[in-house]
């Protein structure tokens, strides 16, 4: 007997797979809505922790889904959530790759791509907003978020340095 929560994980993240236009960074508001607001699998604070853990690991940014799955149902939950997010879109991609050349230069394809660009931007900034609401509880935490955003915009410092400095600040009680 498969535990119902595993089936629900597969269903929720399987549907998200098809909604992930513009990558996983653009998907965070919807993931939050589903796992915190609707299913109530984890709290807002746990969502922020899952995000932090996923950013501290190397690899694609879809790992936040693995951590959420792990919090919900351990290793199996992580596996189901990760596969569910990847598999449907992968099958679609596999199918479309074969016919892509016919549409490569179609004007409608170019129009769709230009149409999705601003939507993706809005979604990524919404991700930032939702994460800030979930992660930043103190003024110092907001300051870290704002300072990181500004410095990442105007300097070419490697992103890991920001995470390392913020971890050190946090460990010593700032933030």
Partner 1 sequence: MNDPFEGTAPASVGADELFFGFLKVGLSGFGGVLPFARRMLVEERAWLTEREFTELLSLSQFLPGPNVVNLSIIVGNRFRGPLGSLAALFGLMLMPFLIVLALAALYARFAEFEAVRGATAGVSSAATGLIIATGLKMARPLSAVHWQIPVAALAFVALAIVRVPLLWALLALVPISVALAWRTRQ
- Residues 96-125, interacting with partner 1 (CB under 8 A): 96-98, 100-101, 104, 107-125
Does 11 interact with partner 1 (rule: CB under 8 A)?
A: no
Torsion of CA 140, 143, 147, 149, to 10 degrees: 120
Residue 148 burial (C-beta neighbours within 10 Å; 0-12, 13-18, 19+):
middle
Does 84 interact with partner 1 (rule: CB under 8 A)?
A: no
Our CB check for partner 1 shows the closer of 7 and 121 to be: 121
Q: What distance in Å separates the CA atoms of residue 58 and residue 146, rounded to the nearest whole number? A: 24
- Minimum distance, C-beta of residue 90 to partner 1, in the bound complex (Å): 5
Q: What distance in Å separates the CA atoms of residue 25 and residue 23, rounded to the nearest whole number? A: 6
Q: Which of 13, 41, 70, 73 touches partner 1 (CB under 8 A)?
A: 70
Binding to partner 1 (CB under 8 A): which residues in 136-175?
Answer: 136-137, 141-142, 144-150, 152-153, 159-160, 162-163, 165-175
Q: Which of 3, 7, 43, 75 touches partner 1 (CB under 8 A)?
A: 75
Per DSSP, 27 falls in state T
């Amino acid at each position: 007997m498969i535990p119902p929560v595993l089936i629900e994980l597969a269903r929720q993240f399987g549907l998200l797979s098809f909604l992930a236009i513009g990558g996983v960074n653009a998907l965070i508001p919807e993931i939050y809505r589903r796992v915190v607001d609707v299913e109530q699998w984890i709290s807002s604070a746990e969502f922020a922790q899952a995000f932090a853990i996923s950013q501290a690991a190397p690899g694609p940014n879809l790992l936040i889904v693995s951590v959420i799955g792990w919090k919900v149902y351990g290793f199996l939950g992580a596996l189901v959530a990760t596969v569910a997010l990847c598999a449907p879109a992968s099958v679609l991609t596999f199918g479309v790759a074969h016919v892509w050349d016919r549409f490569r230069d179609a004007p409608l394809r170019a129009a769709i791509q230009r149409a999705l660009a601003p939507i993706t931007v809005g979604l990524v900034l919404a991700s930032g907003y939702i994460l800030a609401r979930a992660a930043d509880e103190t003024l110092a935490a907001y300051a870290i978020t704002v300072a990181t955003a500004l410095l990442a915009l105007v300097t070419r410092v490697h992103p890991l340095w920001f995470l390392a400095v913020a971890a050190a600040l946090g460990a010593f009680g700032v933030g």
